[in-house]
Amino acid sequence: MEVNISTAEQILTTDGIPLKVSLRKTERKNKIKAFLLVFPLLIFIIVTFVVPIGDMLLRSTDDSQINSVYPNTFEEYIKWDKNESELPPEAVFKALYLEFEQVVPNIRLDKDADATKLKRLRSQEVGKALTRMNYSKSGWKSLIKKTRKKILKNVKNGEKVEGSYKDALIEINKDWADPTFWYSMSQMLNERTSIYYWNAIDRTFDQDSNVVMQPENRRLYIATWIKTFKVSVYVTFFCLILGFPVAHLLANLPLRYSNILMIFVLLPFWTSLLVRTTAWIVMLQQNGVINGVLVWLGILSDEGRIQMVYNQTGTIIAMTQILLPFMVLPLYSVMKVIPKSHMRAAQNLGAKPANAFRRVYLPQTVPGMSAGGLLVFVLAIGYFITPELVGGKDGQLIGHWIAYHLKSSLNWGLCSALGGILLGIMLVLYWLYNKIVGIDNIKLG
């Protein structure tokens, strides 16, 4: 805030410095001190949170790899009118052939590298591009590797292409006459791409860069998204149903009982995730404890044992139990501070218990339910290890595919896009929640 004080009215401190300046100085000092205190935290958040997420979002649209490896080919490629000819014109084949011959990398990483090293760098450039190209169409990898090997051998033997480069390439490998390979290149034209986001919802680009559905037997992600959502909603719902009475009991019992009961909530919470997951398998499997008891009691026949694990039922049961404390604890801390007199007052004023509960108690627990619900839902939607172990074929939620693309297929673009969508879903939920309930209504304790 600026206050205009004319120079004549300036108040001076004892050492002759205007009071305003002196005050500002101390204030700035305090501000710097405060900032220095939070500075490590700020750095920590930037390094561990902002940068990785930013990097992930950048990666999900990055497609610069191939363009830098075969720049001339792509330059010629965009001139190709796909209505005119089934295969691209000779110029494309020629550019590609010459870029296969090339043994110097397009990005010079090392100024004084010798020939062998440059050759190896170029091979690595090509190698990285191949991994990417193979996502658009299976088979690119060995097609280019074999062709390049043959061409480099020809160069070594001093053989030159006479006549058409197109015929030369097709002679080396007949797949070069397969238009689908050429069509798939239209997915790789730009340095920034949305293809991974489309892939993440079972769509792809056709040869004219129109968005089309993936072939039927590759449609996977929409179903997985729905499945993940469904499981998360179920788990959140069951956590709420089961957690509410428990929290209520904990909050209203005398301290010495509630403390003991609290241990029962916290003990599983502190137990290793894997132990709890494995315990559920032991309980639920066909020759497991529950089926065994039911058969022993004669409720089930030996052949009629129920399949309770390695399917969605098992996933929901195990995840609900594992995530339950995340619902109970915020609910408990909110219920703890609701004065008991409120319910009594409502009943004194003539409300039936059910009515008093619904109109007086329940609204006051909304902050706890919201906090617990959001917490459980957010954790459930990205859950990985429990569904993986107890879910069988239904256990492959979106986390499974993120891990698969991160580790095995190395398709980090698609991996980031899946992560980006997950992040987007969370933000939308947060926004919706804020609109409907209001975010300042959330309470963890």
Nearest distance from C-beta of residue 114 to other proteins, angstroms: 14
**3-class state of residue 286 by DSSP:** coil
Distance (Å, whole) CA 445 – CA 333: 5
Looking at this protein, which amino acid is placed at residue 250?
L
Determine the size of the site formed for other proteins (CB under 8 A).
44
Closer residue to other proteins in complex, CB, 21/274: 274
DSSP state of 89: -
Nearest distance from C-beta of residue 243 to other proteins, angstroms: 29
Q: What are phi and psi of 348, to 5 degrees?
A: -60, -35
Interface with other proteins by CB under 8 A: which range of 18-26, 120-128, 255-263, 421-429? 120-128
Distance (Å, whole) CA 253 – CA 414: 51
Nearest distance from C-beta of residue 92 to other proteins, angstroms: 23
Closer residue to other proteins in complex, CB, 130/322: 130
Q: Are 214 and 203 in contact (CB under 8 A)?
A: yes
Does residue 178 bind other proteins (CB under 8 A)?
no
Burial 416-425 (b: 16+ CB within 10 A, else e): bbbbbbbeeb
Does residue 103 bind other proteins (CB under 8 A)?
no
Give residues with Cβ within 8 angstroms of 78, minimum separation 6: 189
**Contacts of other proteins in 280-299 (CB under 8 A):** 285-288
**Contacts of other proteins in 307-336 (CB under 8 A):** 310
Does residue 219 bind other proteins (CB under 8 A)?
yes
Closer residue to other proteins in complex, CB, 58/427: 58
**Contacts of other proteins in 376-395 (CB under 8 A):** 388-389, 392-395
Does residue 369 bind other proteins (CB under 8 A)?
no
End-to-end CA distance of the chain: 36
Does residue 227 bind other proteins (CB under 8 A)?
yes
* Torsion, Cα of 405, 410, 411, 414 (10° steps): 40
Distance (Å, whole) CA 164 – CA 151: 14
Q: Which of 66, 92, 96, 130 binds other proteins (CB under 8 A)?
A: 130
Q: Which tokens hold the place of 36?
A: 């220095």
Distance (Å, whole) CA 289 – CA 278: 13
**Contacts of other proteins in 16-55 (CB under 8 A):** none
Closer residue to other proteins in complex, CB, 228/320: 228
Contacts 24+ apart (CB under 8 A), 174-179: 175/139, 175/143, 176/93, 176/143, 176/147, 177/87, 179/86, 179/87
Residue 279: Cβ within 10 Å count: 15
Does residue 197 bind other proteins (CB under 8 A)?
no
Note the Cα 105 to chain centre separation in Å.
Answer: 34
Q: Which of 237, 269, 404, 433 binds other proteins (CB under 8 A)?
A: 404
Nearest distance from C-beta of residue 345 to other proteins, angstroms: 53
Nearest distance from C-beta of residue 69 to other proteins, angstroms: 12
Interface with other proteins by CB under 8 A: which range of 19-27, 119-127, 203-211, 348-356? 119-127
Q: What is the DSSP string of 320-339?
A: HHHHHHHHHHHHHHHHHTS-
Q: Which of 410, 426, 429, 437 binds other proteins (CB under 8 A)?
A: 410
DSSP state of 188: G
Nearest distance from C-beta of residue 438 to other proteins, angstroms: 38
Closer residue to other proteins in complex, CB, 54/127: 127
Contact pattern from residue 144 through residue 163 relative to other proteins, giving x for each residue in contact according to CB under 8 A and a dash for the rest: -x------------------
Distance (Å, whole) CA 132 – CA 187: 11
Q: Which of 52, 54, 71, 127 binds other proteins (CB under 8 A)?
A: 127
Distance (Å, whole) CA 114 – CA 258: 74
Q: Are 231 and 387 in contact (CB under 8 A)?
A: yes
Distance (Å, whole) CA 170 – CA 93: 10
Contact pattern from residue 234 through residue 253 relative to other proteins, giving x for each residue in contact according to CB under 8 A and a dash for the rest: --------------------
Q: Which of 135, 205, 377, 383 binds other proteins (CB under 8 A)?
A: 135
Q: Which of 406, 423, 426, 429 binds other proteins (CB under 8 A)?
A: 406
State the residues that interact with other proteins by CB under 8 A: 120-121, 123-124, 126-128, 130-131, 134-135, 138-142, 145, 217-220, 223-224, 227, 285-288, 310, 388-389, 392-396, 401, 404, 406-411
